[in-house]
Amino acid sequence: MSKVLVFGHKSPDTDAITSAIAYSHLQKQLGYDTEAVALGEPSAETQFVLDYFGYEAPRVVTKSDEDVSQVSLVDHNEPSQSIDDLEDLTVLSVVDHHRIHNFNTSGPLYYRAEPVGCTNTIILKLYKENNIEIPKNIAGLMLSAIVSDTLLFKSPTCTEEDQEAAQELADLAEIDLESYGLEMLKSGTNNEGKSALEIVDGDAKSFDLNGHQVRVGQVNVVDFEELLARKEELLEAMAKENEDKGYELFLLLITNILESDTLGLVAGDHYDRVESAFESTIENQEIKLPGVVSRKKQVVPPLTDHF
């Protein structure tokens, strides 16, 4: 069998990159020729994780290699979030914890999707089901993804399975989960030196909502004022992305990880639908979203309903 590329979604977060690494390693132990790659550069948080556990970042690709015809998807399934030439490739497997949307294949495949807070929680199960030992550094990468996706278990997406998986992986990695987790989350809140585009698009996903193209980005902070000081600059970058990429709406979620609250910046059309979805008012292109921390569970579903 020829080499199989394993990757997460575009604008990758910690789960996208580390789940590609962890799943690729598992497949290698099962006899497959795989390589973990990324569809974008690692964020500051992800780079912190890779450095902490002594792992090199996967190489970045936008299309598959010429000699590659088969791929495995982790942490996503929607074509708009995937590799550019996905329609020309055979998808061998998907491991994901998101909604299934606009996804189809011409042949059978292995598909594992569960309603948990992180893809790596599922991948841990796959290691155990196949009796494959997890190396210490990969266990560290995997638990970091769970901490990231669940905001150290504060997100409504977090399940008891995620918490148990994180503790099991922390024991394998020999680290203190709480102290490491907080240090890791804070590493991703440093936006100094980043351009407006890097901030709004660093962790952003595109969604087709009943034929409407919507972009939802998210950035973590410990103080809203840090980014509100750059509000006009951020809104300009969002408006330009709308114009260049054809998005009808760009919503940037600025999430305070200490307070578990979010302030949204809104650019584009459909303000009425956004206000209805969150039962809140947009003022000066800002919308307050108290208690909102999860794009997957608290933002995309109500937007979907109102589109």
Sorted by sequence, the CB contacts under 8 Å of residue 220 that are 6+ apart come out as 45, 185, 188, 189, 255, 256, 257
Cα–Cα distance, 187 to 46 (Å, whole number)? 9
Do residues 245 and 195 touch, judged by C-beta distance below 8 A? no
Nearest to 185 by CA among 152, 158, 154: 152
Alpha-carbon separation of residue 102 from 81, 87, 121, 210, 291 (angstroms): 11, 12, 24, 11, 30
Q: Binding site annotation covers 97?
A: yes
Q: Binding site annotation covers 9?
A: yes
Cα–Cα distance, 93 to 70 (Å, whole number)? 9
Does an H or E element contain 224, and which? Answer: helix 224-228
Sign of CA dihedral 272, 202, 186, 8: positive
Q: Binding site annotation covers 75?
A: yes
Q: How far apart are the first and last CA of the chain?
A: 43
Cα–Cα distance, 30 to 26 (Å, whole number)? 6
Q: Binding site annotation covers 96?
A: no
Structure tokens at 149: 């996706």
Taking phi first (over 0 means left), then psi (-120 to 50 degrees means alpha), and beta for anything else, what does residue 246 get?
left
Amino acid at 94: V
Q: Binding site annotation covers 25?
A: no
Cα–Cα distance, 17 to 42 (Å, whole number)? 8
Do residues 248 and 266 touch, judged by C-beta distance below 8 A? no
Cα–Cα distance, 107 to 268 (Å, whole number)? 39
Q: Binding site annotation covers 76?
A: no
Give the residue ranges of the annotated binding site. Answer: 9, 13, 15, 75, 97, 149
Q: Which residues line the annotated binding site for Mn(2+)?
A: 9, 13, 15, 75, 97, 149
